[in-house]
Amino acid sequence: MENDITIAVICGTAREGRESIKAARWVAEFGRKQAGVDIMFIDPKEVHLPPDGAPEDGRDPNYSNATEKADAFYIVTPEYNHSYPSSLKRLLDSEYDNYNHKAVAIAGVSSGQWGGVRACEALLPVCHRLGLVNIRPELYFPKVQTLFDEQGELKPEFTDGYTAAAQKAFDELVWMAKALKAGRHSS
């Protein structure tokens, strides 16, 4: 359907023992419940990029296809040393044109009390440079190790608050994605 929106939910790290994968999967599952939304889940462990290189030789065709197909992105990133992981930067840098004039939402994850807010702020200039249009509100997962159970499910005592915040973010992301998609198709 032409009005459907495809959103790529990107997990921000490939690090072993990552707790942020639980938050990223939760965001993706929440997105799948939205009407008219198709979710693609991007795990950097499944994207095969050389450590560094020129754009021509530094791409994964599957990731290139996903970014081209996506109308919007939802980045779920942990905070490492007041910033986002290098694996996320490498992933974002491997594409360029496929991000232009598309919406992006950012969720931060941390083991501490701030929920990755500094990682989210550090991503803003990168998103701007890539031509992504950032939406508000951000979603934060502080003390992530206490939010999810062993199966990766959000604990019941946190469901209402996160459901409300995620709905607000998805409503804004879908609205912006539709507006930008219409603009891309009219030019």
For the ranges 15-19, 44-48, 57-61, 113-117, the lowest mean pLDDT is seen at 57-61
pLDDT on residue 3: 64
Banded pLDDT at 49 (limits 50, 70, 90): confident
Q: Which of 57, 22, 59 is nearest to 43 (CA)?
A: 22
Residue 136 — pLDDT band, cuts 50, 70, 90? confident
Position 33 pLDDT exceeds 70: yes
Does 157 have pLDDT greater than 90? yes
> Which position has the higher pLDDT, 28 or 90?
28
What pLDDT sits at residue 145?
A: 95
Tokens 């109308």 correspond to what residue? 71
Rounded Cα distance between 124 and 102, Å, is 14
Domain count, the chain: 1
Q: What is the residue-averaged pLDDT of the chain?
A: 93
Residue 42: phi, psi to the nearest 5? -110, 115
CATH number for 14: 3.40.50.360
Q: How far is CA 161 from CA 19, 98, 153, 155, 175, in A?
A: 19, 33, 15, 11, 22
pLDDT tens digit sequence for 67-110: 999 999 999 999 999 999 999 998 998 888 899 999 999 999 99
| Burial zone of 26 (CB within 10 Å; 0-12 exposed, 13-18 middle, 19+ buried) | buried
Structural domain boundaries, residue 37: 5-186
**Measuring CA to CA, how many Å separate 116 from each of 10, 47, 103, 109, 142?**
15, 23, 20, 5, 7
Mean pLDDT for 133-158 is: 94
Higher-confidence position of 126 and 96: 126
Phi, psi torsion values for 63, nearest 5 degrees:
-70, -40
Instruction: Give mean pLDDT, residues 148-153.
Output: 93
pLDDT tops 50 at residue 1 = no
